[in-house]
């Protein structure tokens, strides 16, 4: 069984630079068991995809990881299984995601990262939620809080 996540519920970290966010993503990947769902929330540009790059990279994916804002979902094959990256920002009704077989995709993925997934929180009550935000006046710094 994996060790607890390196960010406890209610804990906040301040990170400087994109690499620090990727490093935290890599640490999270090592602690999330197969089949996990992770929610990322925060304003545009807060670093949700940057954190996901670290997660996916730590699982062995070596190509580019980009935001799925317009595609809604990207699947990244890794030696440990696929990572599903979902961006629900443009989704008006979460049923649209379920109509795209989201449940089956999550069931078969090694890890699912969902950005802007507030409408799905109740369906995955054990999934951690990380809130990312810019720090005023410090463009290279982000505050990351585990809210659940």
The residue extents of the domains of the chain are 12-110+129-134
Least confident stretch, 79-83, 93-97, 114-118: 93-97
Q: Which two tokens stand for residue 19?
A: 């690499």
> Average pLDDT, stretch 96-103?
84
Q: What local confidence, expressed as pLDDT, does residue 143 receive?
A: 96
The span from the CA of 121 to the CA of 21, in Å, is: 23
- What is the band of 16 on the pLDDT scale with cuts at 50, 70, 90? very high
Helix ranges restricted to H, 10-91: 18-31, 48-58
> What are the pLDDT digits (tens) for 100-138?
888 999 999 999 999 999 999 999 999 999 999 999 888
| 49 contacts 66 by C-beta, under 8 angstroms | yes
Entry pTM: 0.93
Its sign, for the CA torsion 76, 77, 78, 80, is positive
Q: What local confidence, expressed as pLDDT, does residue 117 receive?
A: 93
Q: What local confidence, expressed as pLDDT, does residue 90 receive?
A: 80
User: Among 113, 122, 124, 123, which residue's Cα sits nearest to residue 42?
Assistant: 113
CATH code for 12-110+129-134? Answer: 3.40.50.300
> What are the pLDDT digits (tens) for 22-80?
999 999 999 999 999 999 999 988 999 999 999 999 999 999 999 998 888 999 999 99
């Amino acid at each position: 069984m994996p060790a607890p996540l390196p960010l406890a519920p209610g804990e906040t970290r301040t990170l400087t630079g994109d690499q620090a966010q990727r490093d935290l993503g890599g640490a999270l990947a090592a602690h999330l068991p197969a089949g996990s769902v992770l929610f990322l929330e925060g304003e545009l540009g807060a670093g949700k995809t940057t954190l996901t790059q670290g997660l996916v990279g730590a699982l062995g994916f070596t190509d580019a990881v980009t935001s799925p804002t317009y595609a809604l979902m990207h699947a990244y094959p890794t030696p440990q299984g696929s990572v599903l990256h979902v961006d629900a920002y443009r989704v008006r009704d979460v049923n649209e995601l379920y109509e795209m077989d989201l449940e089956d995709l999550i069931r078969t993925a090694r890890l699912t990262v969902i950005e802007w997934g507030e409408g799905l929180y109740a369906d995955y009550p054990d999934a951690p939620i990380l809130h990312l935000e810019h720090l005023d006046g410090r463009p290279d710094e982000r505050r990351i809080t585990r809210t659940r």
